[in-house]
Amino acid sequence: MSVSLQSEMIDVAAEYTELVGDRPGAAVATFTGYVRDHSDQQAVAELELEHYPEMALKVLEDLGQLAAERFELSNWRIVHRFGPLAVWETIVWVGAVADHRGEAISACELMMDTLKTDAPFWKREQGPAGEHWVASRDSDMARRARWQSGEAQ
Amino acid sequence: MASGSVSITIKLFSALREALGESEFELAISDISEASEQVDVAAIKALLSQRGAVWKVALNQPNLVHALNHKVVFTDAMVSEGDELAFFPPMTGG
């Protein structure tokens, strides 16, 4: 039940082993996000991820707690990178352990949908047309809103 | 509120930090706290907007996010001595 903000690559195998530990639940779900080689606007060569460390830690810890209470998780973990990231590197990893698959999968979805709009990170893309800050997406806001309206459970 | 030493920390991130050329600074709020009993985020924005047109435009973007002591707030949130107030564009993590 913890958060890591880190500049180094995410060791997904080690994170999984640590998440499950010596008290495996019946259901384990994880999500891994990678840096894409393209965006809506251009090919992407590199990504720079700025963050607000103190707030990011607080927001993600609160989010993990929220998911744990809502889906009765026995364990959860959120890992988010910052700094320069190359294409196809890992950028985010979340994991949830629960009694049933529905809860574990939904917990990962809640954590991802919420962190994209609520955790203070900002992507800056570099490509052939130069550098620019990535704009927030309405589709991300819509996915976030589903959890508040009760549409997603 | 005592005058002379009342200040808060302002932090700026992402495109806002770039546009304004600053990432963190202390802001004395003694002047506005003397003028009115309470100081909210809107008053801080008004004070900073006096720094010039670039500041005024940047701090009055409709989608600007304000975080007081690491929590997103509306502009009517009250600000006190020692608080940390951050301004930034919508977040794009994950």
Q: At residue B87, does pLDDT exceed 70? A: yes
Q: Give the Cα separation of B85 and A72 in Å (integer).
A: 34
Interchain CB distance below 8 Å, B94 and A58: no
Interchain CB distance below 8 Å, B91 and A33: no
What number is the average pLDDT over the span A35-57? 90
- Nearest Cα neighbor of A27 from A69, A76, A65 is A76
Q: Give the Cα separation of A74 and A110 in Å (integer).
A: 16
Write phi, then psi, for A71 (nearest 5 degrees): -115, 15
The more confident residue out of A73 and B37 is A73
The answer to whether A147 contacts chain B (CB < 8 Å) is no
State ipTM: 0.90
- Matching CATH number, B7-88, of 2.60.40.10, 3.40.50.300, 3.10.20.30, 3.30.450.20: 3.10.20.30
The answer to whether A67 contacts chain B (CB < 8 Å) is no
A-chain residues within 8 Å CB-CB of B12? none
Residues with Cβ < 8 Å from A139, sequence gap 6 or more? none
A76: tokens are: 């959860």
Residue whose token pair is 């508040």: A148
Q: At residue A13, does pLDDT exceed 50? A: yes
Q: At residue A8, does pLDDT exceed 90? A: yes
Residue B36 confidence (pLDDT): 64
Residue A43 confidence (pLDDT): 86
Q: At residue A1, does pLDDT exceed 60? A: yes
Interchain CB distance below 8 Å, B14 and A122: yes
Residues with Cβ < 8 Å from A112, sequence gap 6 or more? A31, A33, A92, A94, B94
Domains of chain A: 2-147 (3.90.1170.40)
Residue B3 confidence (pLDDT): 45
The answer to whether A136 contacts chain B (CB < 8 Å) is yes
- Residue among B11, B72, B90 whose CB faces A136 most closely: B90
